[in-house]
């Protein structure tokens, strides 16, 4: 008999926590997971999944217009936000059910309340009950940060945006990152007047500059408004509910919904980590080693709460590697090299490996190949919008060290191409592959 109630107690049933729980249980561990909200975490409940479904819904706006050029008699179509919203939320419910089933079928005990750390081997539930475990895994994710500005309480975040009563006629989105650009695309397609307010003049820091510039150019032409280098002063709310965002310089912007998309911070408030001596980084994330172990031997952490790479598939890998290491007699670390990522903006963009600027800094001499083209479908549809693919090659070894693209289906294409970049293939290997014609992806093997 173990001295503890459980072999593993997981706090947080999001992507990382659920994966770790079920794999540890499959390795024979007795596992419990506590979740204070809903099973599935940010990705399933109020992130990647409902967001992607809204993007599919929003895309019909252009598809229905384009369909006429392809011979379809499309009558003027109306759009009902409530139908899309409710169907998306229904799908979220279904997926949550599947996540619950997974835990159940792996004999993981789900405890539907908040748990905090009360010592190296002890957690305390909101109900007051204390539970002991040989290991504790913290997988509590991250939470939206909102800027410290007068009237900020009138704004929402990505937590609330999926539940809006109406599709806003005017929306201001603060931030220039992933969430801002994705929701700008969604609401613009759904007919809202969209303004992105950014504190600098840079969108999507970390992505290749040419790709970011292309997104800005396309978004501007579509009619999304941008306020760069904008310092908010205060937000006022009228009796009729409309909001006015005032800036240090320039005219105020009025809207019906103000959304903050200004980053996410590790979710650690009141978690009791100090009771077990768990150290935090300067950025307020849990410090972990390569095996996700914290400064307390019996406590591990995975996912956004550790702020390594705030991406769902990374959290899942970390959770899996943790379970294999601690319960599967198979110590494993996660390889963070060449992790592909995408922004589901309109059009979407995606990248893997080094940007041109990074490669020049790190390698010295690089070769850059680009293809700037109008996708066939856009040509017939009469859309001027151009795609841009960019390949960065180490001039000394001919190895492809970065691939970046914006255009229809860019994330779908990049996921496959990322295998080649991760495998260290050369430009010659790409050139040796026969093009698949006619496709957009063939541009990758025809770069001159």
Task: List interacting residues with ligand NDP (CB under 6 A).
Answer: 147, 174-180, 182, 198-200, 202, 205, 261-264, 310-311, 341-344
- Smallest gap from residue 55 Cβ to ligand NDP (A): 10
Which residue, 12, 46, 21, 35, is CA-closest to 264? 46
The sign of the dihedral angle between the CA atoms of 40, 43, 49, 51 is: positive
Beta carbon of residue 149, minimum distance to ligand NDP (angstroms, whole number)? 8
Exposure string (b/e) for 424-435, b if CB count within 10 Å is 16 or more? Answer: ebebeebeeeee
Shortest distance, CB of residue 50 to ligand NDP, whole angstroms?
A: 11
Which residue, 65 or 199, is less far from ligand NDP as judged by CB? 199
* Cβ distance to ligand NDP smaller for residue 183 or 369: 183
Please, what is the minimum distance in Å from the beta carbon of residue 391 to ligand NDP? 22
In whole angstroms, give the CA distance from residue 394 to residue 285.
34
Report in angstroms how near the CB of residue 283 gets to ligand NDP at its nearest. 12
Q: Which residue, 38, 304, 336, 32, is CA-closest to 163?
A: 38
| Residues ≥6 apart with Cβ < 8 Å to 77 | 64
Our CB check for ligand NDP shows the closer of 82 and 200 to be 200
Query: CB nearest ligand NDP: which residue?
Result: 177
Shortest gap between Cβ of 345 and ligand NDP (angstroms)?
Answer: 9
Active-site residue list: 437
Q: Which is nearer to ligand NDP, 199 or 383 (CB)?
A: 199
| Cβ-proximal residues to 2 (8 Å cutoff; 6+ apart), any chain | 30, 134
340 neighbors 350 (Cβ within 8 angstroms)? yes
Quick one: tokens of 26? Answer: 């499959």
Would you say 310 or 325 has its CB closer to ligand NDP?
Answer: 310
CA distance 204 to 43: 20
Rg (CA), the chain: 24
The token duo for 300 is: 């591990």
User: Which C-beta is closer to ligand NDP: that of 103 or that of 417?
Assistant: 417
Q: What minimum distance in Å lies between the beta carbon of 160 and ligand NDP?
A: 14
Annotate 151-189 with three-state secondary structure: CHHHCECCCCHHHCCCCCCEEEEECCCHHHHHHHHHHHH
Strand (E) positions, 358-414? 366-373, 387-394, 400-406
Q: To which H or E segment does residue 234 belong? A: strand 232-237
Taking the C-alpha atoms of residue 242 and residue 205, their distance in angstroms, rounded to an integer, is 31
Closer to ligand NDP by CB, 218 or 343: give it.
343
Q: In this structure, what token pair is assigned to residue 249?
A: 């310089």
């Amino acid at each position: 008999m173990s001295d503890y109630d459980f072999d593993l107690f997981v706090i947080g049933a999001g992507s990382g926590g659920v994966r770790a729980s079920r794999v540890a249980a499959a390795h024979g561990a007795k596992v419990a997971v506590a979740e204070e909200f809903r099973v599935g975490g940010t990705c399933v409940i109020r992130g990647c999944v409902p967001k992607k479904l809204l993007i599919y819904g929003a895309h019909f706006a252009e598809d229905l217009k384009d369909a006429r050029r392809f011979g379809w008699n499309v009558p003027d179509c109306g759009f009902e936000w409530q139908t899309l919203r409710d169907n998306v939320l229904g799908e979220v419910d279904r997926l949550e059910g599947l996540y619950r089933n997974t835990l159940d079928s792996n004999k993981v005990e789900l405890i539907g309340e908040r748990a905090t750390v009360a010592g190296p081997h002890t957690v305390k539930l909101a109900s007051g009950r204390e539970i002991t475990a040989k290991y504790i895994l913290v997988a509590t994710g991250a939470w939206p940060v909102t800027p410290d500005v007068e009237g900020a309480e009138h704004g929402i975040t990505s937590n609330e945006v999926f539940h809006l009563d109406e599709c806003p006629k005017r929306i201001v989105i603060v931030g220039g990152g992933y969430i801002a650009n994705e929701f700008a695309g969604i609401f613009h397609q759904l007919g809202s007047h969209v303004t992105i307010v950014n504190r600098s003049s840079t969108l999507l820091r970390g992505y290749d500059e040419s790709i970011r510039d292309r997104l800005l150019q396309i978004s501007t032409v579509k009619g999304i408004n941008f306020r760069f280098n904008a310092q908010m002063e205060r937000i006022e709310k009228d009796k009729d509910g409309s909001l006015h965002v005032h800036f240090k310089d320039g005219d105020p912007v009025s809207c019906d919904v103000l959304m903050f998309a200004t980053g996410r911070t590790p979710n650690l408030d009141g978690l009791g980590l100090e009771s077990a001596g768990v150290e935090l980084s300067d950025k307020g994330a849990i410090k972990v080693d390569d095996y996700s172990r914290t400064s307390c031997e019996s406590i591990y952490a995975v996912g956004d709460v550790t702020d390594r790479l705030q991406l769902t598939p990374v959290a899942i890998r970390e959770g899996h590697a943790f379970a294999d290491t601690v319960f599967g007699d198979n110590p494993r670390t996660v390889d963070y090299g060449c992790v592909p990522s995408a922004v589901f903006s309109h059009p979407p963009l995606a990248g893997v490996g080094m940007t041109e600027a990074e490669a020049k800094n790190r390698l010295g001499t690089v070769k850059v190949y680009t293809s700037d083209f109008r996708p066939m479908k856009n040509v017939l549809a009469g859309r001027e919008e151009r795609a841009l693919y960019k390949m960065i090659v180490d001039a000394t070894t001919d190895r492809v060290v970065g691939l970046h693209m914006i255009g229809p289906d860019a994330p779908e294409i990049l996921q496959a191409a990322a295998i080649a970049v991760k495998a260290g293939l050369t430009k010659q290997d790409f050139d040796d592959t026969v093009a698949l014609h006619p496709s957009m992806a063939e541009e990758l093997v025809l770069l001159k």
